[in-house]
Amino acid sequence: MEIKLMLNGREVTASIQADTLLIDFLRARGCLSVKRGCETSNCGLCTVLLDGTPVLSCSVLAARADGHSIQTLEGLQEEAAEFVTFIADQGAEQCGFCNPGFVMNTIALLRENPNPTDDEIRAYLAGNLCRCSGYEGQLRGIRAYLNQRNQG
C-alpha cells in the first residue's frame, strides 16, 4: 500500500505493509525522538503530532497518517528550544528518555492553551511516564517558562 503524508514539513511518499505502525514508519525515516517504551499506549514516549493533535504512534497504523501531517520533535526543534532549558533547569531531565514525549505534549498543550493552570498542565501531561523525576520538575519548568514568557 502506498501512502503520502507531510513529515516535519516535507512531503513523503512510501510503500508500506498494511500492519506497519506509525512508530516504525517514523523511526525508519530517521525520527529517533519517537521512542518505543511500553508498547501498550501507556507511557507517552512515542507521542507525535498528527495534524497538530498528540497521538501515540505505537497505537496508530501508518496507513491512518495517509494524507495528513505528522510532526516529531525533529521537526519542532525551534519551538521546543523555547522551553526545554526551563525543564532541565528544574532537574526534570535526569535520564532524558521520557523528554521527547513530554516536550511533544507540552507543545500541543501550549498551542491549545497558551496560559494553562498547574492542574491543566498536570492533566495534559498525565499520560507521560517518567521514572526519574516525579513529574514536579516538569511542572516547575513549564511554569517557570510561562512566567518568564508572560513577564517579557
Mean per-residue pLDDT over the chain, rounded: 90
- Count CB atoms within 10 A of the CB of residue 15: 8
Helix, strand, coil proportions of the chain in percent (round to 5)? 45, 15, 40
List pLDDT tens digits, range 29-65. 999 999 998 888 888 899 999 999 999 999 999 999 9
Give the pLDDT confidence score for residue 137 in this predicted structure. 82
Burial 86-119 (b: 16+ CB within 10 A, else e): bbeebebbeeebbbbbbbbbbbbbbeeeeebeee
Do residues 72 and 33 touch, judged by C-beta distance below 8 A? yes
Beta bridge partners of 5: 12
Q: What is the mean pLDDT of residues 9-27?
A: 98
Residue percentage of the chain with pLDDT more than 70: 97
Per cent of the chain over pLDDT 90 is 56
Q: Return d(Cα 127, Cα 47) in angstroms, integer.
A: 10
How high is the pLDDT of residue 131?
A: 74
- Torsion sign, CA atoms 36, 13, 6, 79: positive
For 17-31, b where at least 16 C-beta lie within 10 A, e where not — what string? eeebbbbbbbbebeb
- What average pLDDT does the segment 119-141 reach? 83
Domains of the chain from N-terminus onward: 2-74 (3.10.20.30), 76-151 (1.10.150.120)
pLDDT band at residue 132 under the 50/70/90 scheme: confident
Tell how far CA 98 is from the center of its chain.
10
